[in-house]
Amino acid sequence: MTDIIHLLPDNIANQIAAGEVIQRPAAAVKELLENAVDAGATEIQLILKDAGKELVQVIDNGSGMSETDARLCFERHATSKIQHIDDLFRICTMGFRGEALASIAAVAQVELKTRRAEDHVGTYIEIENSTVRKQEPVQWLQGTSIAMKNLFFNVPARRNFLKSNAAEMRHVVDEFIRVAMAFPQLQFTLTHNGTQLFYLEKGSLKQRIVNILGQHYNSKLVAVKEMTDYMNVYGFVGKPDAAKKTRGDQFFFVNNRFIRSPYLNHAVMSAYAEMLPGDSFPLYVLFIELSPEHVDINVHPTKQEIKFDDEKVLYAFIQATIKHSLAQFNITPTLDFDLDPSIQQLTSVSQPFTKQQQEDSTGGSLYKTFTQAHQAHRIDQNDSNLRHWKDLYEPSAPRPAGGEFVSPPPAYIPSGASVIDAHWQDQQKAPMQVHQQYILSHIKSGFFLIDQHAAHERILYERYQRALHEKPMATQQSLFPQTLSLAPADAALVSAMLPDLQTLGYDLEPFGQNTFVVRGTPADIQFGNEQASIEGLLEQFKHSADLKLDRREQLVRSMARNNAIPIGKGLSVREMQNLIDELFACATPNVSPSGRATFVSFKLNELDKMFEKGAQ
């Protein structure tokens, strides 16, 4: 028998390894920007074409590389950061594994230009499919330019998995913002298809936050700063009135590296307890500094998930720090016993209550009603103006000569009417709400228990589907159009969805950088709720983005879920009746778009068995 195990060729092994590091253009953007920061650059340019599919180029004015280093940096696990295994626990730079450039070179065509300050000429290298095609001297400024062209040109199957330009651009902008936010002392620019999207001057952290997230945050930021021997926490959090329905404006950095941590996010949210509704999310840009020995950043390919040696201490420290900052700036709820100056100047407050005024006040009938009868609800029976007050509350039903009320005749039920149609006519069987989240509806054989949110989600889903494929939804125009400011990534997402949003009843118009004018919303959305509706829609859309659904299906599901009647909302009998009618008119009334049951039926014979009536 011949041997069957063999080593993979280097180019195939590199392509497989690249799949862990470079999943999309945004991953290459992150790695190249971090390399520029590590090189000591003070000015960094990011240039893109077609959301990075055709070109991702990063130009910096950093230290540059020698001719040998320029060639060696594309080898796998070639790094200047690690000499010994212990160095892994003392990492203070962004990149260190030596796999980013090797992975990029395995799945793209790469051009490198670099020069150190002490060199008279620079180095130019062309690499394709991990193979060096050209290396020669070049005139170049101090620093480095790396251009990644035609991502996945040699792996067509993976290129087909890339999303639309708008979707990929959203991920790119996310990565750009995270690096730019972490280093406000550096200048960053982002240009896409010849249009400059960001120009971020060097400045303070607050200036960087406002320049990225919008000027409307300028007066909404609360400084956070606590320094200890073990760790430091500093940055900014938003005032409660700046909270949004989306989570986008939330950033955690550990030793200047962006991380994701639901555990630490919970610490922040708990600090805002009782200041925000459950569906609102505060802004925060928080930096945590602690010794690298207490952090393990080598647990995830993107290094965005890390481990701490003592998370509980970190949780308590962050929660207490934010609470202290909010209290220090008088953001936490307090009771204010100071009178308004304008009230204090009123004569009724500033001047004494004279004896004549006292007599005039105590002589009135209103005063006597409260004091003589010792009760606030006493009514003088001799007052002619109040003699017939009970008539306002009497039922308007026919009254016979004997004076007793007679119930009105039962409503006529036409032949052929369904059981459900008939039960609406019987007020004794009207639907009722249970704990403001379920609707109990009688039927002849028992009753239905309907989940009001899931049922309304099904109704809206089918309504929006019809709007996309048949007739666009009606738009209610706002008397006063609102300006909607979004995070850059959310703005890119809305821009990509504009045609579909307009079909679904939204009248949106771009209005400068990351802002839109909201002139109208779908007819079933309450006036004054325009911004919350769009923010909630974006949040639902981003949560469903991992599902294998096309963008229009995601949009329709997100709108239905966001606009459905929430749990805890009280409904009138008429509203419950309309909901039930519309639910059973749906093509698929028994499940919501996400697969949850909309109602459960209870049969009388099943109830009898539960109460063991048959055993008697």
8-state DSSP, 613: G
CA dihedral 212, 216, 220, 225 (to 10 degrees): 20
Picking from 216, 217, 252, the residue whose alpha carbon sits closest to that of residue 234 is 252
The model's pLDDT over 339-393, given as tens digits with 9 standing for 90+, comes to: 444 544 555 545 555 666 666 666 665 555 555 544 544 555 555 554 554 554 4
Q: At what angle do helices 488-503 and 530-543 cross, to 10 degrees?
A: 100
Please say whether the beta carbons of 250 and 259 come within 8 A.
no
SS (H, E, C) 124-173: EEEEECCEEEEEEEECCCCEEEEEEECCCCCCHHHHCCCCCHHHHHHHHH
pLDDT, one tens digit per residue, over 461-486 is: 999 888 888 888 888 888 788 888 88
pLDDT for the residue numbered 20? 59
For residue 474, the 8-state DSSP code is P
Are 250 and 294 in contact by the 8 Å Cβ rule? The answer is no
Q: Is the dihedral of CA 500, 501, 502, 503 positive or negative?
A: positive
- Phi first, then psi: give them for residue 439, nearest 5 degrees: -120, 125
Buried b (16+ CB within 10 A) or exposed e, 162-199: beebbbbbbbbbbbbbbbbbbbbebbbbbbbeeeebbe
Residues of the chain with pLDDT under 70: 1, 10-21, 77-98, 296-306, 309, 330-428, 526-529, 543-549, 614-616
* Contact criterion met (CB below 8 Å) for 431 and 440: yes
Domains of the chain: 10-200 (3.30.565.10), 205-328 (3.30.230.10), 450-600 (3.30.1370.100)
Residue 471 burial (10 A CB sphere; 0-12, 13-18, 19+): exposed
pLDDT for residue 17: 62
User: 226 - beta bridge partners?
Assistant: 233
pTM of the model: 0.64
SS3 252: strand
* Overall size of the chain counted in residues: 616
Single-letter residue type at 504:
L
The closest of 191, 161, 198 to 49, measured between CA atoms, is 191
At residue 110, the pLDDT reads 94
Q: Which H helix or E strand runs over 290?
A: strand 284-290
Cα 18 to Cα 155, 161, 162: the distances in Å are 11, 15, 15
| Cα–Cα distance, 392 to 384 (Å, whole number) | 15
**Triad 481, 487, 489: Cα angle to 5°:** 120
Residue with tokens 């936010």: 181
* Cα–Cα distance measured from residue 393 to residue 363, given in angstroms and rounded to the nearest whole number: 32
Record the tokens describing residue 109, joined without a space.
């065509």
CB atoms under 10 Å from CB of 361, counted, come to 11
CA distance 297 to 605: 61
Do residues 40 and 179 touch, judged by C-beta distance below 8 A? no
